Chains A and B, each alone.
Chain A
Amino acid sequence: MGGVALLLPFIEFKPNRVAEGEAFHLWSIGLTWEPWLLAAIVLTALLLGLSGEGPRVRAGKVAVGIALFAATLPAALRAGLILVTDQTPFGRVGPVSGFWVLVLATFLIVEGSLRTARYSPLLKGAIRALPPTIVILALATGGLDSFAMVQEYVNRADRFSQELVTHLRLAAGAVLAAVTAGVPLGLLAWKRRAFERPVFAAVNTIQTVPSLALFGLMIAPLALLSRQFPLLRAMGVQGIGTAPALIALTLYALLPIVRNTYTSLSVIPDAVIEAGSGMGMNRYQLLRLVEAPLSIPIILSGIRTSVVQAIGNTTVAALIGAGGLGVFVFQGLGQAAPDLIVMGVIPIIVLAVLVDRGLAVLIALVTPAGLRKDPP
């Protein structure tokens, strides 16, 4: 795969924002030693791949994977410096297929060998954090400034942080509201069998409805309410904007939380509760020492699903005027400006992955030692 990557176009150059890009191969940019270094690393990776198993080979693979990434990025960076000169002040470069295949190769090599490796979680985490660190360093030193995505960002830096905050606020607000409503609903469904079917039917139905449709369906009743009650209008409740977005996102976030709350209670064996009360625990102690530790990890993993989903759905909320990072995505789609699309999408993906990883670690930490299947 690495071999193919070296032959694919590596980077493209555009004289300005809307012009058609011209793709360059790694060997035709005017780079001196970088292509050879990359080729050497790819060759080493191939040889390592053929040399069987074992802890040394594995460590070698991890090192080669990281080295591949550490060499790919500077190559793209230098290519940017060569291609964008003083004669082309609006020139910009963007990575294309060859670059992305190399990045994917890095991921596959590193992840493939880390998964089965018996390293400590801390070491694994540190290795996984290396590639992002390299990217951050490149961004911080201004090395990526000739990249189109970065230029789109620089042009909108203020707006970006503002929409990022809006995005986070919408997603967090929706999940908080969903937790406040969802945990009691899950409890209710478990304690009172009569509520089980209607509660699940309702939250399942909401999840099935397409997100854009749900946002759309929120608009009509809210516009009506806002017209009928001046007080609501004064509070900023309108057909479009934050209010319908927040309501729709909250409704959407309910299902995983309700379902996991319910599951978390139903998986506690009666015998465990009986053992607790047999030891003389009162109702409160049972809740604090037995039920809560057993169910909180499961509820948290429901929240994890909800948050990741909410971050994605908040993107769509931009269509009904609620703001958030989706603004850039849809602006980019509207102006047919691919770099702007990518600039909006990448932070959303990074956010989703970060939150997902972060909560995974938190869940591993709060899971009682006896329940852990494998160390985090």
Chain B
Amino acid sequence: MKRHIVPPLLFGLALVVLLNADLLEVVLRQLFPAVREVMYTRIPLIDLFREHVVMVLVSSAIATALGVSLGVCVTRPPGRDFLTVVQGLSSLAQTFPPVAVLALAVPAVGFGFRPTIIALVVYSVLPILNNTIAGMEAIPRELTDASRGIGMTPLQILFFSELPLSARVIAAGVRTSVIINVGTATIGAVVGAGGLGVVIVAGLVRDNIAFVVSGAAAAAVLALSLDWLFGRLETLFFSPRARVAR
């Protein structure tokens, strides 16, 4: 029990320091006495943090909806024909670096918030789609047959038997894509999407270590705490009891 309290305390403390301008300034002055201007004053870090979170949440929500429904479609009888093609396309696309997808979104849709969201969605759909397909394919035929045997309609089979059974695998895909999104959204700063990358890039351009470190630390804490949160949710929802039920 005690072990589970340490990470949120650490993340909470880090966030308080990073997002409270006065506290952050004190800490940065201590760390980098040689740097004259330690605070990025154009936009408060907390606003960039909020932008970053919004970007990740919006894109991950869209990607989850798209990925799961596409995965469900290609594992139904009418969509089966497309299964191999979709799998081939998505495994090929997954070898594309996320940065590459982000950069290509600019010639396609232009600079700003929208292309970043599009790029994030396009890329983060893949792990969710792959895992949805894998989860569905891993369900033994006897189970769906049994569901049909007790009189469930195809829709009921999907919602009460197939989706719950593959939820664990799908959730793992969502976790992967959220973490990738936090990382890619950081680079989103170079295409004018805002977010924590703005401070890092500003620091790199102006050769200001304090900027770089404050942005990088905030992005790292965000990613780590989200990852921890997902880990906790997984153990809560997919406890050993649920595993036995499988």
Q: Which residues of A contact B (CB under 8 A)?
A: 107-108, 111-112, 115-116, 205, 207-217, 219-220, 223, 239-240, 308-309, 311-313, 315-316, 319-320, 326, 329-330, 332-334, 336, 338-339, 341-342, 344-345, 348-349, 352-353, 356
Contacts and interface: CB of A to CB of B under 8 A. Distances in A.
30 contacts: A108-B89, A111-B88, A112-B85, A115-B88, A207-B179, A209-B224, A210-B185, A210-B187, A210-B216, A212-B186, A212-B187, A212-B197, A212-B216, A213-B216, A213-B219, A214-B216, A216-B200, A220-B32, A311-B97, A313-B99, A315-B100, A320-B204, A333-B106, A341-B106, A345-B103, A349-B95, A349-B97, A352-B97, A352-B100, A356-B95
Interface string B172-184: 0000000100111
B181 to A, nearest CB: 10
Contacts of B100: 312, 315, 329, 345, 348-349, 352
Contact of B203 (A207, A216, A353): A216
Nearest to B216: A216
A326 B224 contact: no
B213 A217 contact: yes
Given A312-B98, A349-B97, A208 B84 contact: no
A316 B70 CA distance: 31
A209 B220 contact: yes
B212 interface: yes
B89 A333 contact: no
Contacts of B224: 205, 208-209
B99 A217 contact: no
Given A211-B183, A212-B183, A353 B92 contact: yes
B127 interface: no
B62 interface: no
Interface string B86-122: 0011001001111110011011000100000000000
Nearest to A108: B85
Nearest to B185: A210
A367 B184 CA distance: 35
Nearest to B32: A220
A210 B84 contact: no
Contacts of A210: 182-187, 216, 219-220, 223
A336 B191 CA distance: 9
Nearest to B85: A112
Given A217-B220, A223-B209, A353-B95, A319 B107 contact: no
B70 to A, nearest CB: 15
List the 4 closest A-B pairs by CB distance, nearest first: A312-B97, A216-B216, A338-B107, A210-B183
A297 to B, nearest CB: 18
B215 interface: yes
A214 B97 contact: no
B125 interface: no
A140 B5 CA distance: 62
Contact of B107 (A215, A216, A342): A342
Nearest to B92: A353
A116 B84 contact: yes
B89 A111 contact: yes
B51 interface: no
B25 interface: no
A329 B103 contact: yes
Contacts of A239: 209
Contact of B219 (A115, A212, A329, A356): A212
Nearest to A356: B95
A216 B187 contact: no
Nearest to B227: A208
Given A210-B182, A312-B98, A341-B107, A333 B190 contact: yes
B217 interface: yes
Contacts of B187: 210-212, 316
Contacts of B213: 216-217, 219-220
B184 to A, nearest CB: 8
A116 B81 CA distance: 11
B104 to A, nearest CB: 6
B201 interface: yes
A329 B99 contact: yes
B88 A313 contact: no
Contacts of B191: 333
Nearest to A339: B107
Q: Which one of A209, A312, A344 has the highest number of Cβ atoms from chain B below 10 Å of its Cβ?
A: A209
Contacts of A330: 190
Given A219-B212, A329-B99, A349-B96, A213 B217 contact: yes
B216 A352 contact: no
B59 to A, nearest CB: 14
Contacts of A214: 216, 220
Interface in B133-160: none
A375 to B, nearest CB: 16
Contacts of B216: 210, 212-217
Contacts of B219: 209-210, 212-213
A309 B197 CA distance: 20
A250 B227 CA distance: 21
